[in-house]
Amino acid sequence: MTKKSLIAAGLLFFLIFSQPAVAAQKPDSLSVKIGQMLMIGFRGTALENAPEIAADIAERRIGGVVLFDYDVPAHSPSRNIISPQQLASLTLELQKLSDIPLLIAIDQEGGKVNRLKQIRGFPASVSAEYLGRLNHPDSTTAAAAQTARTLKAMHISMNLAPVADLNTNPDNPVIGKLARSFSSNPSVVISNLQLIIKAYHNEGIIATLKHFPGHGSSTTDTHRDFTDITVSWSEQELEPYRALIDSGFHDAVMTAHVFNGKLDTLYPATLSKQTLTGLLREKLRFKGVIVSDDMQMKAITDRYGLETALQLAIEAGVDLLLFGNNTCYDPAIASKATEIIRSLLQKGIITPERIDQSYQRIMDLKKRYRSGAR
List the catalytic residues.
Answer: 223, 293
Give the phi and the psi of residue 255 in degrees, each rounded to 5: -80, 160
Measure the CA–CA gap between 206 and 333, rounded to whole angstroms. 25
- C-alpha 278, offset from chain centre: 21
d(CA 182, CA 172): 14
**Chain Cα centroid distance, residue 197:** 14
Phi first, then psi: give them for residue 163, nearest 5 degrees.
-80, 125
Give how far Cα 104 sits from Cα of 27, 316, 344, 353, Å: 23, 24, 27, 26
3-class secondary-structure state, position 66: strand
SS3 at position 234: coil
Which one, of 123, 117, 30, 38, lies nearest residue 80 by Cα? 117
Give the residue from 33, 56, 50 showing the smallest Cα distance to 332: 56
AA identity, residue 126: V
d(CA 213, CA 194): 18
Helix (H) or strand (E) holding 254, with range, is strand 252-255
- 3-state percent helix, strand, coil for the chain, nearest multiple of 5: 45, 10, 45
Query: In this structure, which amino acid lies at residue 340?
Result: I
* One-letter amino acid of 156: I
CA distance 150 to 40: 22
Q: What is the C-alpha separation between 202 and 187, in angstroms, rounded?
A: 23
Query: DSSP class of residue 183?
Result: -
